[in-house]
Amino acid sequence: MKAIQKPSAEAGFKLIEAEKPVIGPDDVLIKVSTASICGTDLHITQWDQWSASRIKPPLIYGHEFCGIISEIGKNVENYHVGDYVSAEMHLPCRTCYQCMTGHFHICENCKIFGIDLNGCFAEFVKIPQWQLVRIPKTISPEYGACLDSLGNAVHAVSKGEVSGKTVLITGCGPVGLFAIKVAKALGATRVFASDISPYRMEMAHKAQADQVFDASKVTVSDEVKKLTKGRGVDVVLEMSGSSIAIKDAFKALRLAGTLVMFGICGSPVELNLNEDIIFKETRIIGCNGREIFKTWYLMLELLESGQLDIDFIITHQFPLEAFGKAIELIATGNSGKVILTP
């Protein structure tokens, strides 16, 4: 089968002809319908510091996809050949304290398909049955490829408890854009967004943010206060990883507000704990991955009920063979979600 592989510990990738995976008794083999490219895949391709410390080549990467089951292991009872599925690619150990108490998504020994184990940028991918999520046919394969990433947004927005609240989303990459849509669907009264890229600000407008701020031109916290009677927003969803945005986010937040941290930061950030956290009784909530499978159920309900329309975020599609072109595009920053078709 065709697959995209990191062959050795250096920048680049290779389109290879690999063996079809051999499944065990609890696995299913899935014929990949669509996959989508995450920022992490760009890092792996470019071989940044994080990739170098984590990835053990050779590795088939990719961790966002959907497909059709083409083979099942002998212990698999709840899934059948022909089923339309996606999968949670964070593989919990199921024995640590977090797993034993239902918090699989922060497993102490988590492995990730496409990072620690072979992933989905291939014609077929092998997944243990416990990781599968059945998808209704009303959800297109293009949407299906985005569920991992959309799940990040659904999880982050859920943690922010945005219902009836004003929300600022700092950073309008794909997860930030999804978050605008999800925040509205989950009952935020007004959603403001900020970025510095004209392309992403344009996308934020398409996502129907109530207001989009150019953080390179205005002080976002000042603008937010004007729109909230001087109080600041109830919730900030930090999706940029920018230390400037993070520092200003605390100013944009009202007393006793909630800041959900999701965007990965390049380096440590200096915070004024007294003014920004203690005196204001700010609540900060770290956010990682998606809840297994609470987030998935919520996401599917949002999609099936028609509360969530993510068409506009899917900006490009490529065949798997054009992975190089797709990655080049993503590196420019001028794309939403980019779909691959094996």
Q: Which residues bind its own copies (CB under 8 A)?
A: 78, 94-95, 97-98, 100-104, 106, 108, 130, 158, 161-164, 166, 185-190, 210, 229, 231, 246, 254-256, 261-262, 264-265, 268-274, 277-288, 291, 293-294, 297-298, 301-302, 305, 307
Q: Which lies closer to its own copies via its Cβ, residue 123 or residue 248? A: 248
Q: Which lies closer to its own copies via its Cβ, residue 274 or residue 332? A: 274
CA 335 to CA 342: how far, in whole Å? 20
* Per-position b or e across 84-95, b if 16+ CB within 10 A of its CB: bbbbbbbbbeee
CB of 276 to its own copies, least distance (A): 8
Please check whether residue 88 is in contact with residue 33, taking contact to mean a CB–CB distance below 8 angstroms: no
| 196: CB partners within 8 A, 6+ apart | 214, 215, 216
Q: Which lies closer to its own copies via its Cβ, residue 196 or residue 284? A: 284
Q: Which of 65, 55, 61 is nearest to 118 (CA)?
A: 61
Q: Which of 337, 328, 323 is nearest to 61 (CA)?
A: 323
Can you say whether the dihedral through the CA atoms of 81, 68, 87, 191 is positive or negative? negative
What's CA 93's distance to the chain center, in Å?
21
Q: Which lies closer to its own copies via its Cβ, residue 16 or residue 116? A: 116
* Per-position b or e across 55-69, b if 16+ CB within 10 A of its CB: beeebbbbbbbbbeb
Active site residue 40: yes
CB of 4 to its own copies, least distance (A): 26
Q: Which lies closer to its own copies via its Cβ, residue 26 or residue 202? A: 26
CB of 313 to its own copies, least distance (A): 20
CB of 54 to its own copies, least distance (A): 12
| Catalytic residue from among 34, 40, 258, 282 | 40
| 192: CB partners within 8 A, 6+ apart | 166, 167, 168, 169, 209, 210, 211, 212, 213, 223, 224, 227, 233
Please check whether residue 239 is in contact with residue 170, taking contact to mean a CB–CB distance below 8 angstroms: yes
Active site residue 90: no
CA 106 to CA 125: how far, in whole Å? 24
CB of 229 to its own copies, least distance (A): 8
Three-state DSSP class for 139?
Answer: coil
Q: Which lies closer to its own copies via its Cβ, residue 173 or residue 342? A: 173
CB of 185 to its own copies, least distance (A): 6
Q: Which lies closer to its own copies via its Cβ, residue 18 or residue 277? A: 277
| Catalytic residue from among 43, 103, 205, 316 | 43
CB of 22 to its own copies, least distance (A): 19
Please check whether residue 297 is in contact with residue 134, taking contact to mean a CB–CB distance below 8 angstroms: no
How many Cβ atoms are within 10 Å of 196's Cβ, its own excluded? 17
Active-site residues, by number, are: 40, 43
